[in-house]
Structure 1
Amino acid sequence: MEPVRPLPQYLAQRYHGWYATTFAENRSWYRRLADEGQRPRAMVVSCCDSRVHVTSIFGAEQGEFFIHRNIANLVPPYEPDGDRHGTSAAVEYAVSYLRVAHIIVLGHSRCGGVQGCYDMCSGKAPELDEKTSFIGRWMDILRPGFERLPEGDEATRKLALEHEAIRVSLENLMTFPFIRDAVKDDRLSLHGLYNDIAEGGLWTLEPRTDEFVPV
């Protein structure tokens, strides 16, 4: 294919280093993963942001998490006739076929997607309001969260919107019939987490107060 180029050399070198060490020392484990298939206990819906390293935060191994990443860790509402099925398909697969016991929505500080939503809804990014903006149309999912923001300075409102991205996703998850049924039958639990990148902090959404508290 004309636009395709060879893998950058530094990535090829890293691969060979991994193959000679981590893979070689755990060859039987990788074969077992391949032969027996994946059996993750949890699904994590995380942001695409390269600074959010889900497996490192929890010290997880291969096969432990079913991870889906998108802009601003958003889950759209249940819309069988809609056109945002990438995340919905991942959620369906995790719950209906992998039978995960937990879905974790993991948000984070200084999220570029949330910033884009904030600017768009504030009238500061008209380009995101264009129908041709994939980012803008995806961030429409978070508009209800923007409308719920409290009064305050911009920094406070942006932090609140990052938290709202988690709440909105959890609310939307519960619009999926198969998730509602699994939650009702105690086969599935939902969790909201927020990672402060600069400080390394991890906060969890407390269901009784609907506030984020340190883990």
Structure 2
Amino acid sequence: MQFAKPLPSYLVQRYHGWKATTYSENQAWYRRLATEGQRPRAMVISCCDSRVHVTSIFGADQGEFFIHRNIANLVPPYEPDGERHGTSAAIEYAVTALKVAHLIVLGHSQCGGVQGCIDMCKGNAPQLEAKESFVGRWMDILKPRFELVAEIDDSTEQARQFERQAVVASLENLMTFPFVESAVKAGELSIHGLWTDIGEGALEFYDPKEKKFALV
């Protein structure tokens, strides 16, 4: 592949730093992970946003989380004949092969994907409405829920509420997967909805009884 290039020097330096410290001090653990395979306790579906760092938030060790990231941390509905199989495949593998005990959907503040969906719903994002827009077609998953926040006048609060709706929509879509529903009803899997405020470091969880988010 003629266009591939060597790593930037700063990444090379960081790698050698990691190899000489973190890896060197934990060689036995890394070799155990390599030989025994992964046994993550939870799967986390989070946004691609570089500011969302799941392992840091929960202080997780290597091998503890099975992490899948996509635009706006969305889960599509169960569609065996559909075209959105990347996230669905990750969920299938986590639940049926890895047998994770917890499945977490983590949303966040200032989500660009959610804002893009808002712009689409308001007719302000023709580039996302284009058929060839991968982001736009992915955000179609969330568009039907815009009516739940459409009457909120404050744009910041509207976005924050819609970010939370993205989490709830994903939780609902998770339960359309037969193997997820079966594992949940059997008590083998629990699903959780979270939203984090990047600037404040706050973390909220979705309470299905109250039908709202509350601080952890």
- Give your verdict on TM over 0.5: yes
Q: Which structure 1 residue ranges, 4+ long, deviate > 3 Å from structure 2?
A: none
* Identical aligned residues as a percent: 68
1:154-193 mapped onto 2 (5 Å cutoff) = 154-193=155-194
What is the alpha-carbon distance in structure 2 between the residues aligned to residue 136 and residue 148 of structure 1?
20
| Structure 1 CA distance for aligned equivalents of residues 193 and 118 of structure 2 | 20
Question: Gaps spanning 5+ residues in structure 1: where?
Answer: none
Q: Which digits, 9 at most, give the CA deviation of each residue in 1:92-126, with x for residues without a partner?
A: 00000000011000000000000000001110101
CA displacement at 1:144 relative to structure 2: 2.0
1:203 aligns to 2:204 (yes or no):
yes
Q: TM-score, with normalisation over the residues of structure 1?
A: 0.98
Match of 1:75 in 2: 75
**Aligned ranges 1:133-172 → 2 under 5 Å:** 133-149=133-149, 151-153=151-153, 154-172=155-173
TM-score normalised by the chain length of structure 2? 0.98
Find the residue that maps to 2:205 and give its secondary structure.
Answer: strand
User: What is the CA–CA distance in structure 2 between the aligned matches of 1:88 and 1:50, rounded to whole Å?
Assistant: 22
Contact residue 109 and residue 195 of structure 1 kept, 8 A: yes
Distance 1:177 1:26 in 2: 39
Instruction: Write out per-residue CA displacement over residues 40-70 of structure 1, whole angstroms, 9 at most, x where no aligned residue.
Output: 0100000000000000000000000000000
149-158 or 41-50: bigger deviation: 149-158
Q: Which residue does the alignment assign to 1:40?
A: 40
Cα deviation for residue 148 of structure 1 reads: 2.1
Which whole-Å CA distance do the structure 2 matches of 1:64 and 1:207 have between them?
26
Q: Distance in 1 between matches of 2:152 and 2:29?
A: 52
Q: Does the CA contact (< 8 Å) of 1:102 and 1:188 recur in 2?
A: yes
In 1, the alpha carbon distance for the partners of 2:173 and 2:101 equals: 18
Aligned equivalent of 2:6: 6
Q: Residue 84 of structure 1 aligns to which amino acid in structure 2?
A: R
